[in-house]
Amino acid sequence: MNDLLLDSLRDVIGGGKVSVQETDKQTHAHDESFHAAHAPDAVVWPESTAEVSAVLRWANANRVPVTAWGGGSSLEGNPIPVRGGIVLDMTRMDRVVEVLASDFQVRVQPGIIGDALNKQLKSTGLFFPAFPGSSDIATIGGMIANNAGGMYAVRYGVVGDNVLQLEVALASGDVIHTGSRSIKNVAGYDLMRLFVGSEGTLGVITEATLRLVGVPSGKITLLVAFPAIEPTLDAVLGLLGAGLQIAALELMDSRYIHLVNQGKRLGWQEAPSLLIELHGLLESVAIELPMIEDICGEYAGVIAQTATTTEAQNRLWDGRRAVRHLVRTLLPGMGVLAGDIGVPISQIPELFRQTYALGEERDIQTMAYGHAGDGNFHCWAIYREDDADAYQRATAIHEALTGWAISVGGTAAAEHGLGLGKRKYLPKQHATSMPHMAAIKRLFDPNGILNPGKIFPDENEQA
C-alpha cells in the first residue's frame, strides 16, 4: 500500500487509528495456528459501526483487502491476512450495548471478550453459555464469524444457535440488520445464518444480539477415569441416552492427560477420562449422581473427582483447557496438525480407532480429545518441525481422518472454520453446493476484498 493510499485512509478514520508500525503488523500476522504468518500493510482500529463502514467503503473503492481481527485465537489461520491490505482490529468495539434481562438477551459490540461479557452479566443471574475453550481471549465477533462450539454445546448449542440478530457492514460500506429479537422469526430469507460462520468473507459484524440463559442453581462437575478408550466410548453412548441433565461431556484420551499432567502437575490418572458437568436445580442434579456412577461403573469407570464448588470446578476445567495454551512449551520443536472434525455420535468409536491406527502406520504420535456430546473432536498428529518427512506423514494422517469423517456423514470443520487449513476439503464435502456458495460470495463481495484466500480453495489445492 503506497503512501498516498495510506494518507487517504488516515483521512477516512483518523491517523491515530491507523498503524504501519512493524510491531503492530507482526502482532496481526499470525493466529494460534501453525500456519505461516503474513503481515498486513496496515492495522486499523475502528471504534464505531460508522468507522467500519467508512473503512470498507474506502477499501472497496481502492480494491484493498480487509481482514477482520478479534482475539487472534483462531486455529485454522482464519484471520491471517494472506493478501496483505488492512487488518481491521475490532477490539476497541468492546461494549455491552444493552442488557435486556427481561427478554434474556444482550446486545454487544463484536470486540468484547467472552469471559468479560459473562463477568459483566454476573449481577443479572444470566450468562451466555456457548463459549469455546478460548473464551478468555476470543471475542464475540470472532466466535460468531467461526460459529465456534465449546464445552457446553451438548446442552446449549454452539455460538450460532444463540445469536438472534446481527448488524453487519458489507464490503460496499452499506450496513444491514438481520434476524430479529423475537425467538421465532420466519420472515424472509435467514440472512443472519449466512453471516454466522462466514469467517469475515461476506461482511464485518458490528453488533450482535445474543440469547442468554439463567445461571443454574445446581452445578456438579465430575472427572471419571476408565481402563481403556473402548469402555469410555461405550459410557459416552450410555450417558447420552439416559436423559440426564448433561451440560458438558468432554473426552480426553490418556495421551492428552499425560500432557495435562506435564503442564499443570494435576496428578490425574493417565487414563482415558470423561469430564462431565450437570446443570439444573441443585436437588435434581444431586439425584442424578448415582445414575452417572452406575452407568460409568458398568464400563469400569471410576469417579476420580467430584467438584461442587466454583473453585474446584475451575481446577478441573483448567485441566481440560490447559494443553491448547501450553502446547508450544510442552512440545518444543514439535508441530501439531490439529484436526477439528465432527462425526455422527455412532462414529465416535471408529474415529478413535482411525486416529490411533493411522498414527501407528505412519510412525507419528497421535491423540484425540474433544466434545463427546456432539461428536466434535480434535485429533492431533505431532511431528518434528525440522523433519520434512515427518510433516508429510502427519499431513497424510490429517487428510485421511478428514476424508473419512466426510465419508461417514461428518464434517471437515466442526468449530474452527475452514480458514487456510481446511478450505481444500470444501469441494469434497459440498461438491454440488459449492458453486452457489461462490455466487453468494460474489454477490456480497464482488471485488473480493473481504478476507481473501479463505474458505474457498486455491486452484492447485486438492481434497
User: Where do the structural domains in the chain lie, given as residue ranges?
Assistant: 3-89, 96-214, 216-320
Which class for 435: exposed (0-12), middle (13-18), buried (19 or more C-beta within 10 A)?
Answer: exposed
Architecture per CATH, 3-89: 2-Layer Sandwich (3.30)
pTM: 0.93
The predicted structure's pLDDT at residue 330 = 86
- Own/partner pairs, 319-324, CB within 8 angstroms, 24+ separation: 319/260, 319/264, 319/266, 319/268, 319/275, 320/133, 320/151, 320/250, 320/252, 320/275, 321/133, 322/260, 322/263, 322/264, 323/256, 323/259, 323/260, 323/263, 323/369, 324/32, 324/133, 324/134
Pair 70, 142: CB distance under 8 Å: yes
Provide mean pLDDT across the span 396-411: 96
Q: What is the DSSP letter of 103?
A: G
The CA distance from 113 to 92, in Å, is 11
The predicted structure's pLDDT at residue 460 = 65
The CA distance from 427 to 355, in Å, is 23
Residue (of 306, 443, 431) closest to 457 by Cα position:
431
Residue (of 91, 40, 68) closest to 419 by Cα position:
68
The CA distance from 174 to 232, in Å, is 51
Pair 136, 152: CB distance under 8 Å: no
- 3-class DSSP state of 77: coil
Residues 6+ apart with CB under 8 A from 414: 149, 340, 341, 342, 375, 376, 377
Residue (of 227, 310, 238, 322) closest to 273 by Cα position:
227
- 3-class DSSP state of 241: coil
The predicted structure's pLDDT at residue 462 = 55
Pair 179, 185: CB distance under 8 Å: yes
The predicted structure's pLDDT at residue 112 = 98
The CA distance from 255 to 380, in Å, is 10
Q: Tell whether the model's pLDDT for residue 463 goes beyond 90.
A: no
The predicted structure's pLDDT at residue 325 = 73
For the chain, state the CA radius of gyration: 22
What is the number of residues in the chain? 463
Q: Tell whether the model's pLDDT for residue 355 goes beyond 60.
A: yes
Q: For helices 254-264 and 310-330, what crossing angle results, to 10°?
A: 90
Class (C level, CATH) for 216-320: alpha beta
The CA distance from 145 to 227, in Å, is 39
Yes or no: domain 96-214 corresponds to CATH 3.30.465.10: yes
334-342 vs 376-384, strand pairing mode = antiparallel
Summarize pLDDT for 5-41 with one digit per residue, the tens. Answer: 999 999 999 989 999 999 999 999 999 888 899 999 9
Summarize pLDDT for 62-108 with one digit per residue, the tens. Answer: 999 999 999 999 989 999 999 999 999 999 999 999 999 999 999 99
